[in-house]
């Protein structure tokens, strides 16, 4: 039961920490534009060479065309296959891709295991009781598990080696950088060893079933009987709690880095919501101390911006 409590707690921390990170981003003030081209939601012809709507004569009189399709066409290979790294840092890609794809497959595996547990719980329905469907799901679980763990182990070892052997990376790496990779490697290697004794992932299925049913395990399987399985469960649970507390939250925070900065090209139109947000910002009262700023904590940004400095420094 202790395993389940740990998993629930870690999952709760994951939700709370991720929720906090996202909430904090959503409540930050509107910032000035700082986009970088190519912006992938542009029209396909412009996105291809990095053009923008600012290339149009009297652009403000025209409706801005944004393409979600273009954005997805770019983002999917970027997220799944790390296209940017392939283009800009090929040597690192050979380690980084299996590492990241291994992690994606572990997330997918977790989803499939929960689905499998639901199928068992709802086995009275014709769809879920279908033998073909269950066989397909079981096959998918095995394929995803094995592929993900093999890739993850290769990737973790590759990243560890790169960080240790490449002076460019080693010189900038701290204890936590090695610890993070080792932590993830611990999960991958323990899960792979556990898998070698349980190639159909029956233990993992049982644990997922137990997670959904408050610790009632399937087929009398008790997690922790197998040392490696136990280590895999503990490390996976702790990782889920740990990742949002570190820079590794870039896995999902990348959304904000791209959409709220790099691709944030939304123009400020009179009477629009951006203008309203700017007007609020302009009422904020800065306290910068250089004399030329002439901030005293009482003057607003609006007052300061519409004045000329009396002092030079």
Q: 209 to 248, contacts with other proteins by CB under 8 A?
A: 247
Count each helix (H run) and each strand (E run) in the chain, helices first. Answer: 14, 0
Nearer to other proteins, 8 or 255 (CB): 255
Choices 64-72, 77-85, 105-113, 192-200; region in contact with other proteins by CB under 8 A? 77-85
Distance CA 248, CA 250 (A): 5
- Report the residue number, 104 or 110, with the smaller CB distance to other proteins: 104
CA distance 97 to 276: 43
Of the candidate spans 118-126, 150-158, 220-228, 255-263, the one that interacts with other proteins by CB under 8 A turns out to be 255-263
Site string for other proteins, 44-63 (x = CB under 8 A): --x--xxxxxxxxxxxx---
Q: Judged by CB under 8 A, does residue 296 bind other proteins?
A: no
Report the alpha-carbon distance of residue 233 to residue 295 in Å, rounded: 55
Least spacing, CB of residue 67 vs other proteins, in Å: 14
Alpha helices by DSSP H, 82-223: 83-88, 90-121, 126-129, 131-165, 167-170, 175-196, 202-212
What residues numbered 268-287 form the site for other proteins, per CB under 8 A? 268-270, 274-275, 278-279, 281-282, 284-287
Q: What share of residues in the chain are helix, strand, coil (percent, to 5)?
A: 70, 0, 30
Q: Of 11, 3, 9, 1, nearest to 227 (Cα)?
A: 3
Among 3, 14, 42, 228, binds other proteins (CB under 8 A): 42
User: Is residue 82 involved in binding other proteins (CB under 8 A)?
Assistant: yes
Among 15, 77, 130, 250, indicate the residue that binds other proteins (CB under 8 A).
250
Q: Which two tokens stand for residue 304?
A: 């300061």
What is the total count of residues that contact other proteins (CB under 8 A)? 89
Distances (CA, A) of 118 to 115, 134, 211, 260, 303: 5, 11, 11, 37, 61
Stretch that binds other proteins, among 22-30, 69-77, 205-213, 232-240 (CB under 8 A): 22-30
Residues 143-172, interacting with other proteins (CB under 8 A): 167-169, 171-172
């Amino acid at each position: 039961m202790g395993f389940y409590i740990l998993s629930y707690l870690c999952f709760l921390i994951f939700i709370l920490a991720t929720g906090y990170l996202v909430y904090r981003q959503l409540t930050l003030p509107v910032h000035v534009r700082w986009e970088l081209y190519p912006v992938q939601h542009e029209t396909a012809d412009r996105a291809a060479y990095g053009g923008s709507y600012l290339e149009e004569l009297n652009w403000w009189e025209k409706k801005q065309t944004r393409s979600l399709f273009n954005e997805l066409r770019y983002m999917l290979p970027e997220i799944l296959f790390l296209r940017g790294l392939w283009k800009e840092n090929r040597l690192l890609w050979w380690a980084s891709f299996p590492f990241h794809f291994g992690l994606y497959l572990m997330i997918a595996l977790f989803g499939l295991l929960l689905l499998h547990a639901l199928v068992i719980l709802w086995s009275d329905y014709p769809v879920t009781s279908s033998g073909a469907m269950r066989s397909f799901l079981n096959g998918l679980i095995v394929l995803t598990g094995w592929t993900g763990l093999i890739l993850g182990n290769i990737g973790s070892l590759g990243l560890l080696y790169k960080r240790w052997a490449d002076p460019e990376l080693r010189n900038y790496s701290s204890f936590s950088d090695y610890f993070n990779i080792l932590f993830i490697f611990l999960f991958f290697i323990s899960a792979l060893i556990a898998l070698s004794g349980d190639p159909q992932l029956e233990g993992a299925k049982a644990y997922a079933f137990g997670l959904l049913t408050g610790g009632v395990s399937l087929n009398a399987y008790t997690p922790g009987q197998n040392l490696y399985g136990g280590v895999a469960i503990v490390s996976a649970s702790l990782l889920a709690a740990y990742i949002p507390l570190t820079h590794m939250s870039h896995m999902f925070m990348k959304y904000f880095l791209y959409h709220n900065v790099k691709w944030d090209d939304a123009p400020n139109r009179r009477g629009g919501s951006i203008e309203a947000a700017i007007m609020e910002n302009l009422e904020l009262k800065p306290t910068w101390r250089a004399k030329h700023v002439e901030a005293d904590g009482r003057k607003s940004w609006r007052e300061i911006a519409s004045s000329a400095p009396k002092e030079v420094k």
